[in-house]
């Protein structure tokens, strides 16, 4: 069940959202498999620190975040944040199942490639719930900032 805080936010800002219950999925690729969609449609939130402040970088489930690209786009130093350090900021979500929503008060950046998808699948706050949102509405309502080449395929390097 989606945490009530998240459900209230979705009902207010995304009245057309879809909620899907699925088998337990801990990774974005597992979420894609549980939802029977390609990993290119799954928005994987990654918590980063930009000049010491938390932010969310969103890439496809198939990708990893290019910290160098994020640093160039924000003129800030960027680093990944260990889950143990950030998950209290996302209560009542299960650790690792936080959706990229503005209700957490963090800036959200997204890889421009995800904007080619009409609808995105993302974690719903638990490892058994997914949310499907219309991409343009999510971008607008959650004040998401697109970044070109934010996501890179595993094995690729980008500086």
Q: Can you give the pLDDT of all 159 residues of the chain as single tens digits?
A: 999 999 999 999 999 999 999 999 999 999 999 999 999 999 999 999 999 999 999 999 999 999 999 999 999 999 999 999 998 899 999 999 999 999 999 999 999 999 999 999 999 999 999 999 999 999 999 999 999 999 998 765 554
What the block records as the tokens of 111 is 């890889």
First vs last Cα of the chain: how many Å apart? 40
Q: What b/e sequence results for 4-20 when a residue is b if at least 16 CB atoms lie within 10 Å of its CB, and e otherwise?
A: eebbebbeebbeebeee
The secondary structure of residue 3, as a DSSP letter, is: -
Between CA 154 and CA 134 the distance in angstroms is: 27
Dihedral-angle region of residue 7 (phi above 0 means left; psi in -120 to 50 means alpha; beta otherwise): alpha
Q: Please list, in sequence order, all residues whose beta carbon lies within 8 angstroms of the beta carbon of residue 81, skipping any fewer than 6 positions away.
A: 47, 48, 49, 54
Per-residue pLDDT, 19: 97
Per-residue pLDDT, 157: 56
Tell the residue number behind the tokens 């993302």, with chain if given.
122
Per-residue pLDDT, 158: 52
CA 124 centroid distance within chain: 10
pTM above 0.85, yes or no: yes
């Amino acid at each position: 069940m989606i945490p009530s805080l998240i459900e209230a936010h979705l009902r207010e800002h995304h009245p057309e959202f879809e909620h899907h219950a699925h088998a337990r999925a801990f990774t974005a690729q597992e979420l894609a498999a549980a939802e029977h969609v390609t990993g290119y449609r799954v928005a994987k939130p990654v918590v980063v620190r930009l000049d010491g402040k938390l932010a969310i970088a969103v890439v496809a489930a198939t990708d990893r975040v290019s910290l160098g690209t994020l640093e160039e786009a924000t003129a800030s130093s960027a680093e990944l944040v260990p889950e143990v350090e950030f998950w209290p900021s996302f209560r009542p979500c299960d650790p690792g199942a936080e959706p990229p929503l503005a209700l957490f008060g963090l800036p959200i950046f997204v890889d421009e490639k995800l904007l080619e998808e009409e609808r995105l699948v993302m974690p719903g706050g638990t490892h058994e719930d997914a949310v499907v949102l219309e991409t343009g509405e999510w971008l607008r309502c959650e004040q998401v900032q697109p970044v070109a080449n934010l996501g890179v395929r595993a094995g690729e390097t980008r500086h």
